[in-house]
Amino acid sequence: MATRALDLLVGKNLRRAPLPPARTLSCQLPQPTNGQGELSERQPLEHATFLIVCLRYIGDVLLSTPLALSIKTHLPHAQVDYLVFKGTEEVLAKNPNVRRIHTLSPGSTGLGMMLQLWRRYDYALGTGWSDRTAAFSIACGRQALGFRTLARRDWWKQLLLRHCRMFDGRRHIVPLMLTQLEPLGIPAIPRVVFDCNAGDLAFARRHLGEQPYVLLHPYSRRSFKYWPASAWAGLAERIRSRTNLRAVFTRSPGQADEEQFRRIEIAAGGTVDSLPQPFTLRQLAAAIQGSRAFVGIDTAATHVAAAVGTPTIALYGPTPASQWGPWPNDWPDASPFAMKGKTQVWGSITVVQQSWPCAPCSRETCFISQRGKIECLENLPPEMVFAAISKALGNDDSKGRP
C-alpha cells in the first residue's frame, strides 16, 4: 500500500479524473479536527504560507480566487501562491492577493516541480478531486487539504491529506472550494476576483469606439458547448434591428473558434461586426466591462463577465449551472441556480437553458440525438435568448418593439 501511495505521488500516470456523478457524493467523511472544526496542532496562521493548487482550466482558476481573497482579507500578513497549468496564469497575473504563480506544463509528470516545492508551504489547498491535485497538495504543504470521491481508488487521499472532504457535485464549485478554509477557521468571502487596468480599458475603447454594444462570445474549449452558428446570426440580427445597440462578436486565436466565427458569418449572409483581432484575457475583460451586456456559452469569458459585474447572459446545455454557472459575487448559499434547466436570474446574471427532463445531463454526447448534436443547445431559440437580453437591459436600449 505504501508503494502504491508513492506511485500516486510521483508516478507518470497522474492525470485529471473525470467529474464524478453527483449522486455518488452524498456522504461526508470523518474530519481530522480538534473537535471544534479546526485542524489540531496546526501552524499559527498569521504569517503562514499557502499554496492553492488548481490544475484545471482558466475558468476553474478564476473561480478559485475567492480562496486567496478570503485568506488575505483575514490574514493580511500571510502569503498566498498558486500552482496552475501553463496557459492559465494570466487570470491571476494582476490579482493583488497572489504573491507568486508556479506553472506546470499540461501532460508532464511534474516531478521536478514537486521536488522544487517539497514541503515549502505551511498549507496547501487542493481545489479539485483529481489525483494530480491531491498529490501536489500533499507534497508541497506541511499540511494538505483536499477532496476525494467515493471511488475506491481514492483511499490514499483520505490517508495522506491532513483534511479530506468529499467532492460534492451538488454544490456550486465556488462555495465547495471555500469549504477548505473551514478547518483553518478562516471566514469565506464568496467573491470572484478579476480586474483590468486603465490601459486595458483604453485599448478596448480605441478598438470598439463610442457606440454602445452587446458583446457576443460564441467559443469554448469544448465544441459540445457550442450554440449553432445560425442561432448566433439570428441573435445578432435581433439585437441590431430591435435595439439601439451593436452586436459585436469576439475573436479567438483557436482554429476551431475561427471556424465557428466563419460559420456565423456565412449564416449571417456576409460579414458581421466583430473585434478586429483576438484580445488578451484582460483586454477582453475591458471590452466586456464596456459593453451593455455580454452573451456567452459555458466558457471562461462568461465567468469573467460575471466577475466584472456586466449583465451576463450565459447559454448552458448539458452542463449543470448549479455547479458550474457564472458566480454572482457575494452569494451566500451553496448555489444560486437550481439543478434543472430553465431561465434563471440572479442579480446581473441570467442562465438560459432548456427545461427538458434530460437537461442538464453532464454528458459530452447527446443520447437522444440521431444526428450527433447536442439537442438542448441546437434547439435553444434565439428569441428566448433575446428576451433574456431585453430583460437584462430594461427598456433603455429598445427601439420600441416587443
Note whether 315 and 232 are within 8 A (CB): no
Cα angle, residue 178 at apex, residues 173 and 181 outer, rounded to 5°:
155
**Dihedral sign for Cα atoms in the order 44, 45, 51, 56:** positive
Beta bridge partners of 85: 104
Report d(CA 228, CA 125) in Å as an integer.
39
Give every CB contact of residue 399 below 8 A, 6+ residues apart in sequence.
241, 242, 243, 244
Specify the DSSP element, H or E, that contains 367.
none
- The angle, 0 to 180 degrees and rounded to 10, between the axes of the packed helices 229-242 and 382-393 is 40
Note the pLDDT of residue 369: 82
Distance CA 144, CA 164 (A): 9
Beta bridge partners of 248: 215
Instruction: Show Cβ contacts of residue 357 under 8 Å, excluding neighbours closer than 6 positions.
Output: none
Single-letter amino acid code for the residue at 167? F
The closest of 297, 229, 239, 241 to 269, measured between CA atoms, is 229
Confirm if 15 and 132 have CB atoms less than 8 A apart. Answer: yes
pLDDT of residue 212: 97
Distance in Å from the first CA to the final CA of the chain: 67
| CA nearest to 376, candidates 222, 217, 218, 227 | 227
**Separation between Cα atoms, residue 287 and residue 250, nearest integer Å:** 9
The residues with which 144 forms a beta bridge, in sequence order, are: 124
Per-residue pLDDT, 2: 37
Rounded distance between C-alpha atoms, residue 9 and residue 133, angstroms = 10
Torsion of CA 103, 107, 108, 114, to 10 degrees: 50
CA distance 156 to 149: 11
d(CA 213, CA 198): 20
The one-character DSSP state at 80 is E
Q: Collapsing DSSP states into helix, strand and coil, what is residue 314?
A: strand
Helix (H) or strand (E) holding 91: none
Q: What is the pLDDT along the chain (402 residues), one digit of tens a residue?
A: 333 443 444 343 333 334 343 333 323 333 334 434 444 444 579 999 999 999 999 999 999 999 999 999 999 999 999 999 999 999 999 999 999 999 999 988 899 999 999 999 999 999 999 999 999 999 999 999 999 999 999 999 999 999 999 998 889 999 999 999 999 999 999 999 998 899 999 999 999 999 999 999 999 988 899 999 999 999 999 999 999 999 999 999 999 999 999 999 999 998 899 999 999 999 999 999 999 999 999 999 999 999 999 999 999 999 999 999 999 998 887 788 988 767 999 999 999 999 888 889 888 888 888 888 889 999 999 999 999 999 999 865 656 443
- Distance, in Å, from the CA atom of 181 to the CA atom of 312, rounded to the nearest integer, reads 29
Domains in the chain (CATH in brackets) are: 2-184 (3.40.50.2000), 198-393 (3.40.50.2000)
Sign of CA dihedral 44, 49, 52, 53: negative
